[in-house]
Structure 1
């Protein structure tokens, strides 16, 4: 049986916690344009643990719960998705009913309960007013523990993702014919596709290079070569 997302992350931490597993390029015009963020398995795992602890401790989320991720393809979206899967809940990728909304849109964060995510890498607090009742990801997430233990485990048939490529926990990790240790690049504009690509690469002890936004001047060729990309998705 294919691994669950939580098992994939645990395998990365056992394999090589210091190796880069996510490299993110922000090419979207705006104040964060030009950002390059690199996360090792250990750093990614810390972010996931903090977010998963918040999901359990603040909102009692567990198998059967639903979390809407109204976020763009981004490194922060990756740790929130893994956190949802760590507590055994369902990632909702459309505007369907949910127990919690995690979003970078202040207008959507007025839905209670909600988490307002600030995408800027060095943000220590939201740059927009935080609606009443919403958690400020940039300010508050760091207060949660770096270690996580789930209260309950999802059943293999429990829904892991819905709203785009619906999948249960037993088949949410795609099986691709890529080599072990693959370094995959994607510039997909769809969060569901990016999550699938990331899980597929990580399940092969690989890593993800994610570009968000229009192709940079001069193209991405030199970037992909410098990053040692071996697969385009």
Structure 2
């Protein structure tokens, strides 16, 4: 059976130092770039956290209530490494990964028995301050987990009920339709809040061998310079 995390990352590891996501936040001036191997390590650490600390695995449903961010990409791939399902939006979930402003949504997604992982999304790894009891702080907990992982060999559904094979096929078709290739540097400030968005705005770029330039709070005055500096070849709405 196809492990979606491995299926996406393994071909990319032929170029371990190539950039895979370059993240800007124009509101803070933040710029972070992850190579293939660094992205794979973050995904592995996240998968190990979810599996070893929270008991997630095949058949588990993980609500992802996070913005389009470099950490979110590691979370998606980490969930798929352990064979669990990414759920976007509300649902009957076992774990929810959320920003602190969405704790109420996360509680609704997991009910009384699920686990919530809160993200500060801080560039320097600062934890979320004053978290309620029982909520896992991602920045603190993920440090304790290894950056290598044994991918799940019998994964469950991958993305909002779709199998890994179906998601890969959709991403490949999207990449072909968009003319994406290993030379693609794709600029976007659009959210990743639906299954179609994850497929078209993230996975299509990666399965083509390209890289994502994701911008939060984009400053229109900075975009022209950024296109040139990042050698952008395509843009997504």
TM-score (norm 2): 0.85
Which residue of the partner structure matches residue 105 of structure 1? 100
Deviates more, 1:18-27 or 1:106-115: 106-115
8 Å Cα contact 1:8-1:203 kept in structure 2: yes
Quick one: which of 46, 61, 64 aligns to 1:66?
61
Query: In angstroms, what is the RMSD of aligned CA positions?
Result: 2.1
Are the structure 2 counterparts of residues 24 and 190 from structure 1 closer, same or farther at C-alpha, using a change threshold of 3 Å?
same
Displacement of 1:114? 1.0
* Alignment-derived partner of residue 184 in structure 1: 186
- 1:216 alignment partner, one of 219, 226, 229: 219
Matched, 1:37 2:40: no
CA shift, 1:124, in A, is 3.1
- Residue aligning to 1:7: 7
Q: Which has the higher helix share?
A: 2
Change (3 A) 1:131 1:138: same
CA distance in 1, matches of 2:186, 2:79: 23
3-state SS of paired residue (1:159): coil
8 Å Cα contact 2:3-2:80 kept in structure 1: no
Q: Equivalent residue for 2:162?
A: 167
SS in structure 2 of the partner of residue 218 of structure 1: helix
Which residue is equivalent to 2:16?
17
Greater displacement, 170-179 / 45-54: 170-179
Q: Are 1:204 and 2:202 an aligned pair? A: no
Distance in 1 separating the partners of 2:8 and 2:192: 22
Q: Which runs of 5+ in 1 are unaligned?
A: none
Q: Give the whole-Å Cα distance in 2 for the aligned partners of 1:230 and 1:34.
A: 23
Conservation of the 8 A alpha-carbon contact between 1:186 and 1:210 = yes
Residue by residue over 1:151-189, the C-alpha shift from the partner in whole angstroms, topping out at 9 and shown as x without a partner, is: 4422xxx42111xxx632112131212223311111112
Aligned equivalents of 1:151, 1:184: Cα separation in 2? 30
- C-alpha spacing 1:62/1:3, structure 2 compared with 1 (3 Å): closer
Instruction: Compute the displacement of 1:190 (Å).
Output: 3.5
Residues 1:118 and 2:120 are matched in the alignment: yes
Which residue is 2:140 aligned to?
A: 139
Equivalenced residues, count: 220
Question: How far off is 1:51 after superposition?
Answer: 0.5
TM-score by length of 1: 0.86
Task: Give 2:71's match in structure 1, choosing from 67, 70, 76.
Answer: 76
| Residue in 2 that maps onto 1:129 | 130
